[in-house]
Copies of this chain bind each other. A is one copy, B any other.
């Protein structure tokens, strides 16, 4: 067992957008657009800290069964976020079911990694079963995504909700009670400080 420094790969589950909107008397779907600026702030922080790879839970195939205004809202927010980080400089890969109308057209160029800089794996129209089904042909479909060291989830939920099951097997899991639109840089600071104090065993 060794103490760690900075994680090499961090997963982010930005949950709580709808609860945040409801709390403010807004329609649920209004919450998503308030998640874009926090996402960009978090992206800049990770770049500055020198974290080499991050994975972000955009939306899942299950999410596309929600009410239509919500679907339009999270798709739109995901596209805006992804294109903006690509513009700012990232090696962006979109991971999700590609041959599907649920994957926004704007994200299709990133089915292979594009750009240079911090690696960002953005899960869009993702489903863990779709991912694992690749093993029937010898490799998971998210094969290009490395093992996660740390996962940070906002919104208080203590579960993975289908987030990259293979890459999550040894990851430390840090939960922020605040809803995602209330993101503060301190959340990441606290998660990283906590992470440094966890023993690494990798199953050993």
A171 surroundings in chain B (CB, below 8 A): 159-160
Interface size on A, residues (CB 8 A): 31
Q: Which of A128-152 contact B (CB under 8 A)?
A: 128, 132-133, 135-136, 138
Binding site for B on A (CB under 8 A): 60, 62-63, 65-66, 128, 132-133, 135-136, 138, 157-162, 165-166, 168-174, 198, 201-204
With A62-B202, A66-B204, A135-B133 as known contacts, state yes or no: A128 contacts B173, CB within 8 Å.
no
With A60-B203, A204-B66 as known contacts, state yes or no: A161 contacts B165, CB within 8 Å.
no
Nearest-CB distance from A23 to chain B (Å)? 15
Secondary structure at the A interface, as helix, strand, loop or mixed, is loop
The complex is assembled from copies of this chain, and their number is 2
Q: How far, in angstroms, from A173 to B171 measured CA to CA in the complex?
A: 13
**In the bound complex, do residue A160 and residue B168 qualify as a contact, i.e. CB atoms below 8 Å apart?**
yes
- Across the two chains, which residue of chain B brings its CB closest to A136? B135
A161 surroundings in chain B (CB, below 8 A): 169-170, 201, 203
**In the bound complex, do residue B173 and residue A173 qualify as a contact, i.e. CB atoms below 8 Å apart?**
yes
**In the bound complex, do residue A204 and residue B165 qualify as a contact, i.e. CB atoms below 8 Å apart?**
no
